[in-house]
Structure 1
Amino acid sequence: MRTQMATEAGRTTAPSEDRALVGPNLLAVLDGVTAKPETGCAHGVGWFADQLAAELLRCAHLGPAPALAEAVRQTRELHGGGCDLEHPDSPSATVGLVQIKEDVLRYLVLGDATVVVDAKSELRVVSDTRTNRTAGADPADVEHALTGEIPLAEVRRVAILSDGAARAVDLFDLFDWRQALELMAANGPDDLIRKMRAVEKEDAKAVDWPRAKVSDDATVVYLER
Structure 2
Amino acid sequence: MRTELVSESGDPDRANEDFASVVLPASGRGGALVVLDGVTPPRDGAGCVHSVHWFTARLGGALTELTVSLPDVPLAEVLARAIARTAEAHAGTCDLSHPRTPQATVVLARWSAGAVEHLVLSDSALLVESPDGTVTPCLDDRLDRLPASALATHAHVDTYLRNKEGGFFTAAADPAVAERAVTGALPRGEVRTLAALTDGATRWVERFRQGDWRDCLGYVREKGAGALVERVRALERTHPGRGKRHDDATVVYVEL
Q: Say whether the fold is shared (TM-score over 0.5).
A: yes
CA distance in 2, matches of 1:17, 1:174: 25
**Per-residue CA distance 1:102-126 (angstroms, 9 max, x = gap):** 4200010001010010114642112
Structure 1 residue matching 2:192: 3-state secondary structure: strand
Question: In structure 2, which of residues 219, 234, 248 is the aligned counterpart of residue 217 of structure 1?
Answer: 248
CA distance in 1, matches of 2:128, 2:90: 35
Question: In structure 1, which of residues 113, 126, 129 is the aligned counterpart of residue 124 of structure 2?
Answer: 113
Indicate whether 1:45 and 2:52 are aligned.
yes
CA distance in 2, matches of 1:102, 1:91: 35
CA distance in 2, matches of 1:117, 1:188: 17
**Per-residue CA distance 1:163-215 (angstroms, 9 max, x = gap):** 11011111111121111111111121111111111111112xx2xxx321111
Structure 1 residue matching 2:123: 3-state secondary structure: coil
CA distance in 2, matches of 1:135, 1:216: 19
Tell me the equivalent position of 2:97.
86
Question: In structure 1, which of residues 139, 144, 149 is the aligned counterpart of residue 175 of structure 2?
Answer: 139
The answer for unaligned runs of 5 or more in structure 1 is: none
Tell me the equivalent position of 1:127.
139
Report how many aligned residue pairs link the two structures. 220
Tell me the equivalent position of 1:19.
19
Contact residue 8 and residue 250 of structure 2 kept, 8 A = yes
Structure 2 residue matching 1:213: 3-state secondary structure: coil
Tell me the equivalent position of 2:159.
none
Residue 80 of structure 1: how far off its partner (Å): 3.6
The answer for unaligned runs of 5 or more in structure 2 is: 25-30, 143-166
CA distance in 1, matches of 2:109, 2:55: 21
Indicate whether 1:65 and 2:76 are aligned.
yes
Tell me the equivalent position of 2:114.
103
Tell me the equivalent position of 2:146.
none
Aligned-residue sequence identity (percent) comes to 41
Matched to 2:9, the amino acid is: A
Question: In structure 2, which of residues 28, 33, 38 is the aligned counterpart of residue 32 of structure 1?
Answer: 38
Indicate whether 1:10 and 2:10 are aligned.
yes
Moved over 3 A (4+): none
CA distance in 1, matches of 2:17, 2:108: 17
CA distance in 2, matches of 1:64, 1:172: 32
Q: Which moved more, 1:173-182 or 1:120-129?
A: 120-129
Residue 220 of structure 1: how far off its partner (Å): 0.5
Question: In structure 2, which of residues 48, 61, 70 is the aligned counterpart of residue 54 of structure 1?
Answer: 61
CA distance in 1, matches of 2:61, 2:173: 15
Tell me the equivalent position of 1:149.
185
Residue 57 of structure 1: how far off its partner (Å): 1.6
CA distance in 2, matches of 1:55, 1:123: 29
Contact residue 34 and residue 64 of structure 2 kept, 8 A = no
CA distance in 1, matches of 2:230, 2:244: 17
Indicate whether 1:158 and 2:194 are aligned.
yes
**Per-residue CA distance 1:123-154 (angstroms, 9 max, x = gap):** 21122231420001000011110001111111
Residue 59 of structure 1: how far off its partner (Å): 1.0
Q: Per residue, is there more strand in 1 or in 2?
A: 1
